[in-house]
Structure 1
Amino acid sequence: MLRKLLLSVAVIYTLALIVVTFINLDGVPSLGSSFDDKIYHFLAYAGLAGLWITFFKQRHKKQTLLLVFVIVVLFGVLLEVIQHQLNQNRTYDTYDLLANCFGVVIGTLIATRIDIIKLK
């Protein structure tokens, strides 16, 4: 049951990230730095990778985890590249893309190293 809950959370998080990528985000709280946007990108993709790696790691081999890692990186790249096509107020930013990728790396490392919950 916990595994199904984790899958539901991962799917909902992924869909929410897609929506947030394509809408205007005026009024997002400031963290007080000049690179708040990059921090948000990093955290969003660390969470995304963490959820999907945690879901797959209990029953799958390392090759599967590598595939999940690659898919999440490609997902971040794809969203960053096409976001300005669907919303003229959003633009492509290489630093956002790097923050996405770095977030995936860190989220994957954390999820593979720490067993926060044991899935049955």
Structure 2
Amino acid sequence: MPSVGTSFDDKIYHVVAYCGLTLVWLLYIKPIKKKRLYVIICLSAIFLGYILELLQYFLNPNRTYDTYDLIANSIGAIFGTLIAVKINVYKLN
């Protein structure tokens, strides 16, 4: 991956990846008025990040569990959800 030039490049990549993942999930579905589905998909992305962190910790001895990765994943999922909500609001009008 190209370096952004900071000491936390990895966390920036996590935010961008989970923002994109959540955007794709939410924009794939039809524009909806049910806010509950947005919350479910956002929480699903966060849960996926948690499961992947646990799997890499337990299955790969060369990888470590990082709470900051989980925080970055969660921030990305929330940003992706907020962006998708704004985009879908415009589609509904």
Q: TM-score, normalised by structure 1?
A: 0.67
- After TM superposition, the runs of 4+ consecutive aligned structure 1 residues lying more than 6 A away are none
Residue 68 (str. 1) matches residue 41 (str. 2): yes
Q: TM-score, normalised by structure 2?
A: 0.84
The two structures, once aligned, show a CA RMSD in angstroms of 1.9
Per the alignment, residue 68 of structure 2 pairs with 95
Specify every segment of 5 or more residues in structure 2 that has no aligned partner in the other structure, as ranges.
none
Residue 55 (str. 1) matches residue 28 (str. 2): yes
Equivalent pairs counted in the alignment come to 90
Per the alignment, residue 86 of structure 2 pairs with 113
Contact preservation (8 Å) 1:56, 1:64: no
Residues 64 and 33 (structure 1 numbering): CA distance in 2 closer, same or farther, change over 3 Å? same
**Larger RCO, structures 1/2 (Cα 8 Å, 6+ apart):** 2
Identity %: 49
Specify every segment of 5 or more residues in structure 1 that has no aligned partner in the other structure, as ranges.
1-27
| Partner Cα separation in structure 2 for residue 62 and residue 55 of structure 1 | 15
Per the alignment, residue 35 of structure 1 pairs with 8
